Amino acid sequence: MSNEARPERAPSRLSLRTIATYAAGSVGTGGYATLPGLVLTYFLTDNLGVAALAAGLIVTVAKVWDVVIDPLIGAASDRQLARTGSRRGFMITGAITLPVFFALTFAVPPSWGPAAGAICVLLAFLGTATAFSLFQVPYVALPAELTDGYDERTRLLGWRVIVLTAAILLFGAGGPMLRRATGDPVTGYLLMGIVAGLAIGVGMLIAARTARASALASPTPSPARLHSADETPRNAGDLGRGMQSRGLREQYLSGFRTLRRSAPFRALLGTFVLQALATGTMLAGAQYVARWVLGDEAAVEILFVALVAPALIATPAWTALSRRTGKERAFLGASILFLIASASIVIAVWMPGVWIYASVAVAGIAYAGLQSLPMAMLPDVISHDARTGGSGQAGTFTGIWTAGETVGFALGATAVSLMLAATGYISTVAGVETVQPDAAVTGIVLSFSILPAVLMALSILPLSRYRLRRSDIDAAQTLPA
């Protein structure tokens, strides 16, 4: 064998403890992503009497704030890693502060009036969003640091999505149950905010332990990581001082350079943002479908069971399929399946009924793949960029990624509120009954069916431009002799 030979190095296998600890963070992710998306717009329009358009604007402003700070948190997380060898500090700060702001978001009583109530909810939700970003941005960066194996990342993220799916079921069904537990909407929302906020914070704190483990993982770095911020570099002090000297403008420009440099990241991010927008519209519209299409506010819990229960079973199947066909092909299959399932719900305009649960269940099977597969592909993109570009700024990648995801979910709620406003939806305060016009009910169905289907179809275009394959990742597992 010549001196140029490059023997393969098998990636380390993650322990069950590491996988379980990391997956616990999805309790927080699932709770934050589910409850505000499910009930916040409804809380504003049907409990505080805020107009639908204004309610959508409140959610959008808070999410735009996320987009502004996420790249900064990502860069700061890279600096913390370079300085201390861990991203743990940011994660713990977010975990401790989020329960407080989350409870305050749902603590506003209708007696304060729509204007004052809207302002208070906006301020509290801005605090919640900031706390969540402090946790989520470094959390998403960890898989690239925990393992460099193509299939091992799928295994790690697959279990994370199983916990995420269970958390969505828990918060999506349990949150509305807590809201009704007191028999009074005002105290019910407060109870929901306190209990859910604490559960989210506990999950985040558990996952923060993984950040310490990631700094110690893989004692023999691969070429992809010799120049990477994903491990503590030998010249960590020099790197830390260099990154600290960068201004805000440079940190934002670094994110744009990342997008320009990495074609796989652009394709994956574009796909994920459009799909977050699609699923965000369904999430924001579920409560309205339950009350005004199915005729029972409590039906939202059944909708969530129909969506999430199949996903618990389907996630391992998507993981297995990705090993046979590649992550990108399995991801395409999940996207097409979700498109078909969501489009079929449009029939409810003319024939509403319990059959909707079947379509939602099929969408739930697809949703498991839409969550696990792109999250397993993101560490591949990060390590590929580190190997080819030598940058290895995982926090910068995940800051942009989290901002994009936030934009998608925020605009999903905005799209629903615009649809409601355009079709004449009537807002009200807690305890006051009203009747919605037929046009508003039609708008609710369209926002839950055709709108997400169209967005999912659009997401397939950037996905078709994703060129990173297993062979590209496996190439990073070789070392010079």
3-class DSSP state of 48: strand
Look over the chain and give the mean of its residue pLDDT values, rounded to a whole number.
Answer: 79
State the average pLDDT over residues 282-301: 81
pLDDT in tens, 297-348: 778 778 877 877 787 788 888 888 988 888 889 999 999 999 999 999 999 9
Measured in degrees and rounded to the nearest 5, phi and psi for residue 429 equal -105, 165
Higher pLDDT, 269 or 241: 269
Distance CA 28, CA 48 (A): 26
8 strand-pairing partners:
478
3-class DSSP state of 246: coil
Measured in degrees and rounded to the nearest 5, phi and psi for residue 145 equal -95, -25
State the average pLDDT over residues 224-239: 38
pLDDT at 96: 95
461: pLDDT confidence band, cut at 50, 70 and 90?
very high
Going by the DSSP 8-state scheme, the letter that residue 147 receives in this structure is: -
Distance CA 131, CA 437 (A): 39
**In percent, how much of the chain has pLDDT > 70?**
81
pLDDT at 256: 63
All structural domains of the chain, each given as residue ranges with its CATH number in brackets, are: 16-229+248-477 (1.20.1250.20)
> Is the per-residue pLDDT at 252 higher than 50?
yes
229: pLDDT confidence band, cut at 50, 70 and 90?
very low
Comparing C-alpha atoms, which of 89, 18, 138 is closest to residue 394? 138
Comparing C-alpha atoms, which of 46, 30, 44 is closest to residue 433? 46
pLDDT at 255: 57
Q: Which of 137-141, 178-182, 253-257, 338-342 has the lowest mean pLDDT?
A: 253-257
pLDDT at 191: 93
Distance CA 352, CA 162 (A): 31
Q: How many CB atoms lie within 10 A of CB 390?
A: 12
State the average pLDDT over residues 75-93: 83
**In percent, how much of the chain has pLDDT > 90?**
21
Higher pLDDT, 412 or 240: 412
pLDDT at 476: 52
> Is the per-residue pLDDT at 245 higher than 80?
no
Distance CA 156, CA 154 (A): 5
Tell me if 144 sits within 8 A of 394, measured CB to CB: yes
471: pLDDT confidence band, cut at 50, 70 and 90?
low
Q: Evaluate if pTM is beyond 0.85.
A: no
- How far CA 273 is from CA of 12, 172, 190, 278, in Å, comes to 31, 22, 31, 9
Buried b (16+ CB within 10 A) or exposed e, 104-129: bbbbbbbeeebeebbebbbebbbbbb
Q: Which amino acid is at 108?
A: V
pLDDT in tens, 37-66: 778 888 888 888 888 788 878 877 877 787
- How far CA 200 is from CA of 49, 97, 126, 143, 207, in Å, comes to 28, 11, 17, 20, 11
Q: Is the dihedral of CA 352, 353, 355, 357 positive or negative?
A: positive
pLDDT at 228: 37
pLDDT in tens, 359-415: 999 998 998 888 888 888 888 887 777 776 655 566 677 777 777 777 777 677 778
257: pLDDT confidence band, cut at 50, 70 and 90?
low
